[in-house]
Structure 1
Amino acid sequence: MSIFNKTILTLTLAVVGLLGLSNLHAASKTTTQPKPEVKVAVLGGKFSFNLPAGFIASPLSADEQSSEGAGAMGTLYANAQEKRVVMVIEKPLPEASRPGDNDDAFLDGAVSGFVNRQSAGLPDFRQTGESRLNRNGLGVRQIDSTATLGGGKTLNSTFIAGSGDRMAVIQVISRSDQASAHAALVKRIAGESSMPVSQSRKNHGK
């Protein structure tokens, strides 16, 4: 059973306006002013990180959140100056799919489902890497990829983790000409503990 539906892809496409220099996604929504740093925490604080100055938080709409199922929560963090977004979604899991804090079977399935969905929806999606992370005992997978969104090339790094009755997906999207800044933000989110997954799992897609 797939734990991803079309909303993951839909939300990815929803941020294209920012990357393409048009209006910020959901600009009419209530947003907070930029702070020196923005703390983000999911899964009861088991996975947390600080975004640097310049990001503005905007909650996803009720329709966007409800399409992920009852109890789903999502926030879009956007940096208009750097044309970069971080999308954070936390959603409940059915009882049959509930993992431990470092459950390889769950993470393998979650990664496969995510990659398959992106490959089906984005013609030039290409997975460029995958890493295992351990955040204080919480297993996290990082999937790096490239794709064209709204006519522009983008770099994407997605973090997936699960614990008990919830899972979290954190997606970082940058323009392709911002590789260094993208890598710096990804490193900040990932922390110091990461290990590449077998090369056989890389280069999925075109």
Structure 2
Amino acid sequence: MRLFSLRTLLVCTALASCLGMVGAQAATKAQPAPKPSGQKVAMLGGKFAFTLPKDYVKGPMEEIDAKARAAGVTGSLYMNKPAKRVVIITETPLPNDQKVGANDKPTLDGIIADTLQQQQSSYKDFKKLGEKKIVRKGLGMRQLDISGSVDGGRVLSTTITAAYGKRTAMVNVISLAKDAKAHAEVVKGVTGGK
């Protein structure tokens, strides 16, 4: 499916950018966990909304070309430079003009299974850390946690997906493996976890 090939491209591009910064900058002390105030993000017509910490900078996503935008693909890349963390946000139409409710289990399970398969081939030293089913304010979500390496650097990657109406939304949080606590805080902010 083109939808997941695009996501793989986005993840790899973001990881390369993230790890490139690591090589270019001197080692820094661990950053404190981000605070839950900052930039508001809304997807799926506002049904999936969360707030990123204010120290995230929104950047362009050249990977989404004119053809993809014409097909209804939207996306944003947020980067936290001090912590070297990337958050990729994409929203795409469901295949075949499909329409789903707020917690369509077969659709969500299919999306996360395809994502798992794509990530297995995208990361070296791939390891699945966990998978969760979440329902927040009636919206079903799936969370996939993995670890792997890109260009020799170990990373954590958490993918959260939801679908509603004729669209699917995906949030991918990518952090250096040594930054697990702050990574978990950002994921918690996206999922509404405690």
Q: TM-score, normalised by structure 2?
A: 0.84
| Cα RMSD for the two superposed structures | 2.1
Question: How many angstroms apart in 1 are the aligned matches of 2:70 and 2:117?
Answer: 20
Structure with the largest fraction of helix: 2
Q: Superposed, which structure 2 residues align to 1:1-206 within 5 Å?
A: 2=1, 4-15=3-14, 16-21=16-21, 37-61=38-62, 63-64=64-65, 66-67=67-68, 70-95=71-96, 97-192=98-193
Residues 104 and 38 of structure 1: CA distance in aligned 2, closer, same or farther (over 3 Å): same
Match of 2:4, as an amino acid?
Answer: N
The answer as to whether partners of 1:20 and 1:152 remain within 8 angstroms in 2 is no
CA deviation map 1:113-169 (0-9, x unaligned): 110111123232221111111121110001000011222100011001101110011
Q: What amino acid does structure 2 have at the position aligned with 1:45?
A: G
> What percent of counterpart residues are identical?
36
CA distance in 2, matches of 1:131, 1:69: 32
CA gap 1:146/1:73 in 2 versus in 1, 3 angstroms = same
Q: 1:57 to 1:37 in 2, by over 3 A?
A: same
Distance 1:116 1:20, change over 3 A: same
- Name the SS for the 1:82 alignment partner: coil
Instruction: Tell me, in whole angstroms, the C-alpha distance in 2 between the residues paired with 1:151 and 1:70.
Output: 35
Taking the aligned partners of 2:141 and 2:50, their CA distance within structure 1 comes to: 13
Report the Cα offset of residue 104 of structure 1: 0.7
TM (normalized to structure 1)?
0.80
Q: Which runs of 5+ in 1 are unaligned?
A: 24-35, 194-206
Any conservation in 1 of the 2:77–2:86 contact (CA below 8 Å)? yes
Question: How far apart are 1:63 and its partner, in Å?
Answer: 4.1
Matches of 1:96 and 1:44 in 2, distance apart? 17
Describe the shift of the 1:5–1:189 C-alpha distance in structure 2 as closer, same or farther (beyond 3 A).
closer
Letter in 2 for 1:140: M
